[in-house]
Structure 1
C-alpha cells in the first residue's frame, strides 16, 4: 500500500546526492509513501525506475529455494537503490517502516547521463560503491564468526545512523539475522555478549536504540 506525495522538496534530500545539481526540469521525479512491509518492487520486475529513500528505511532481499530470506542491503534516508545493470530487478525491495521514496524514471536519467559527463561519472561511482558493498557483504558472510558479523553490522550502522550518540535501528533482529546469515537467537546472544562486555548499551524496551560505549573494542572484533 502506498500513497503518492506531490509535496514540494522542502527539507528533503536532493536527488541522488552527488547528482543533486540536476534541476527538476532535467529530471522529473515522484514521491510515494510506502506503509511498513509494503513492497516497493519485486524480484524479476522491470527496472523502470531508480529510487531514493527520503525518510524511513528499505530492505533488499532474495527468497532462497528453501524458503529462507537473505537480505542484501539496508537503504536508509538519502540512499539510492534499484540502479540495475540489466533490465529487471535482481532483489525485492520492501519498506521496513513507513517510508517515503522518490522515484525517477531510469530512461530519463540515462538520457541526461549521455550528454553530461559529470552525471555519467557519478552514476559509475554509485555502481562501484554498490559493488564494493556487495563484495564486503560476501566476505562478511563467508569468513567471519557470528560475533564478528554483528560487530561489523554495528560499525556500519554507526556511520549511517548514529545521531546525538544514539544508534536508532529501524530494522528488527530478524532483519539483522537475515542480513548477516545468522539465526535470530545467535544475533540476540551476540548483542548480549557485547552488552555484558560493556561495549554497548540499550535504550528503550525494544532495544533498537543502541549506544556504543567502546568503539575501539568493537572495531577489534571486526577484523
Structure 2
C-alpha cells in the first residue's frame, strides 16, 4: 500500500513538472523527449500566499517558473517605497539573469496566492542553452518584450498624467477590437497604484471620474466594463 502511495506521489510530481515545463514558451517548442530531459532537472517548490520566493540581494542561481498561482515582482526604493514591476501567471518565469552570470536579485518575488514554482539551476540551464540554441532565441524574445514594457512604463511616469496612465493600462488589457468589453483587473488597487506610480486613493478617484464621463463602468470583483475605447484614447 505504501509503495502504491509513493508511486502515485511520484507520478503526481512528474506530471506537475511536465506541466510546468510545457507551459513555458522558452521550452514548449522543444520535442517531448527534450522537455522530459529538462523536467528531470526541475525542482518543485510550493509557497503560501504572502511568502517571499526571493528578495533583493539574494544570490540569483535559478530560473523560477510559475506552475500554478500568481507571483508579484517588485522593487523597493531607498526610502522604502514599493514599485511593482510585473505580475507572473502560470507559464511565466523570473530569475533569468542567473542564465548568464553570477549575480544578485534586484527585486523581490512574492506569492500573491498559494503558488507552485519549478526551479532549474544555472548550471543545468547553461547546458540546455548550449544543447538547444532555440531556447536562447525564445529568451531573447522575452527580454525584448519586457524591455519594451519597461520603457513604456518609464515614459508613462515621465510624461503622462495619472488618468492617462490608467486609460492606457485599461486599453492594453483589451483582447482587441473597439467594442464594449469587461476586464478583470489582475491585481489589487494597491498593486495597480504601485505599477502606475500613484496611490490607491488616486486610482479609486480617477476610475470614478472615468465612469462619470461614461468611458467605463465599474463592476464588482475588480471588473471594469470598457464602454468607450476611443474616448479613453483621448484622456
TM over 0.5: yes
Distance 1:75 1:154 in 2: 18
Relative to structure 1, the CA distance from residue 77 to residue 88 in structure 2 (aligned partners, 3 Å threshold; closer, same or farther) is same
Gaps of 5+ in 1: 160-164
Distance 1:155 1:100 in 2: 31
Q: Give 1 or 2: higher helix fraction.
A: 2
What RMSD in Å do the two structures reach over aligned CA positions? 2.5
Distance 2:20 2:86 in 1: 22
How far is 1:215 from its partner? 2.8
Match of 1:46 among 45, 48, 59: 59
Relative to structure 1, the CA distance from residue 76 to residue 218 in structure 2 (aligned partners, 3 Å threshold; closer, same or farther) is farther
Match of 2:36 among 13, 24, 31: 24
For residues 79-100 of structure 1, give each alpha carbon's deviation from its aligned partner in whole angstroms, at most 9, with x where no partner exists: 2222125521110011222333
**May I ask how many residue pairs the two structures share in their alignment?**
211
For residues 63-115 of structure 1, give each alpha carbon's deviation from its aligned partner in whole angstroms, at most 9, with x where no partner exists: 11212111122222322222125521110011222333222223212211112
SS at match of 1:36: coil
How far is 1:7 from its partner? 5.9
The answer to whether 1:57 aligns with 2:70 is: yes
Q: Is the 8 A contact 1:96 1:171 kept in 2?
A: no
1:218 corresponds in structure 2 to 232
1:142 corresponds in structure 2 to 158
Gaps of 5+ in 2: 1-11, 176-180
For residues 163-207 of structure 1, give each alpha carbon's deviation from its aligned partner in whole angstroms, at most 9, with x where no partner exists: xx5433342111111111101211111111122223222332xx4
1:78 corresponds in structure 2 to 91
Q: Is the 8 A contact 1:15 1:52 kept in 2?
A: no
Looking at CA atoms only, which structure, 1 or 2, has the larger radius of gyration?
2
Please identify, of 37-46 and 68-77, the stretch whose mean Cα deviation from structure 2 is larger. 68-77
